[in-house]
Amino acid sequence: MPRSSQIPLALPSFSGAVRRLILLNIAVFFGLAVLHWVSVPAEGFLLTHLALRPIAVLHGEIWQLATYSLIQPGILSIIFSMLTLWFTGSLLESSHGSRWLSELYWTSVIGGAVIASAVSFTHVFGLRPDVGAVSAWAGIFGLLIAIAMVYGDQEFLLWFVLRIKAKYMVAVYILIAIAVLLKESDSFGALLQLSGALAGFLFVRFAPRRGIAFGFSERFYGVRNSYYRYKRRRAARKFEVYMRKQNREVHFDKDGRYIDPDELRRDPNDKRWMN
């Protein structure tokens, strides 16, 4: 897709990893709503252990680095966050695939939580490690940064009204988060969003083109194949030694494959064997 092309006004496809992420967030939202109706104390207990609190993560509740992103603070939050996830995620998924998008999203969620939690212990901007945060915006900021990096000159409809290039749209989101951070009204939440953007930037910049999982699988199979080639070469050398003791000569190539003696005797300039 050209970097300078315009986004059509039609709704994007609702499928693949984007659909799974949105349905997961909606399911958790309504599950917590039902739990609130059944038992408020049970809901409070669950939220205490699912929301991200750096001090709790430090004491072993590391699942909070991911679960906080599934909890939305209100109906407006889930509407706007899921719409943004739908539009940005669909564009990235169509060009990079479901696995790459999922890895980008969860890297931004978890990486952003790790960075923000570490910074919270410094107490800058009035941060406190015992203050929690929720919402999917850290992961979404990672997608927004990826949009700016990959499709910087492509035009979007900001809030469905203002036509604006992707890089400027993302700059608006970043500036809003910075303003909230500096005003200390929701410092940890804003820091979490900015940290998610940083994690997303690092993923797009340094992760393999087809994703981390693909890169690891390629490295694993490469190491495995190298090991098999080593065993084949070793077996070939042993077999050569054995055959020399039997007064016979056999030859193998550098990968341990047997070389037919006729191939060694054949004149390389003789083309008659090709007929």
The predicted pLDDT at position 3 comes to: 44
Does residue 3 lie within any of the structural domains? no
Residue 73 included in any domain:
yes
Answer yes or no: is pLDDT of 11 > 90: no
pLDDT at position 4: 45
Last residue of a domain, one of 207, 222, 244: 207
Mark whether 183 and 84 lie in a shared domain: yes
pLDDT recorded at residue 93: 92
Give me the CATH number covering residue 39: 1.20.1540.10
225 versus 202: the higher-pLDDT residue is 202
Domain shared by 90 and 130, yes or no: yes
Which of 190, 207, 224 marks a domain boundary? 207
Band of the pLDDT at 264, cuts 50, 70, 90?
A: low
Residues 246, 153 share a domain: no
Are residue 57 and residue 101 in the same domain, yes or no? yes
Q: Give the chain's domain count.
A: 2
pLDDT of residue 1: 40
Domain assignment of residue 102, yes or no: yes
Q: What is the pLDDT of residues 54-105, one digit of tens each?
A: 999 999 999 999 999 999 988 998 999 999 899 889 989 988 889 999 999 9
Query: 2-6, 182-186, 189-193, 251-255: which range is least confident on average?
Result: 2-6
Position 262 pLDDT exceeds 80: no
**pLDDT at res. 206:** 85
Indicate if 152 and 264 belong to the same structural domain: no
Model pLDDT for residues 25-43, shown as the tens digit of each residue: 999 999 999 999 999 999 9
The rounded percent of the chain whose pLDDT value lies above 90 is: 44
Residue 125 pLDDT > 90: no
pLDDT for the residue 21 = 95
228-253 mean pLDDT: 75
- Which range marks the domain in which residue 241 is found? 232-274
Q: Over 70: is that where the pLDDT of 201 sits? A: yes
107 and 45 in a common domain: yes
Residue 260: what pLDDT?
Answer: 67
**Does residue 137 lie within any of the structural domains?**
yes
Confidence (pLDDT) at 227: 72
150 plus 248 within the same structural domain: no
| Claim to verify: residue 192 and residue 75 sit in the same structural domain | yes
- Contacts of 115-120 with CB under 8 Å at 24 or more apart are 115/195, 115/198, 115/199, 116/52, 116/54, 116/188, 116/191, 116/192, 116/194, 116/195, 117/52, 117/54, 117/57, 117/58, 117/65, 118/54, 119/191, 119/195, 120/54, 120/188, 120/191
The confidence score (pLDDT) of residue 141 equals: 96
Verify that 41 and 164 share a domain, yes or no.
yes
Mean residue pLDDT of the chain comes to 82
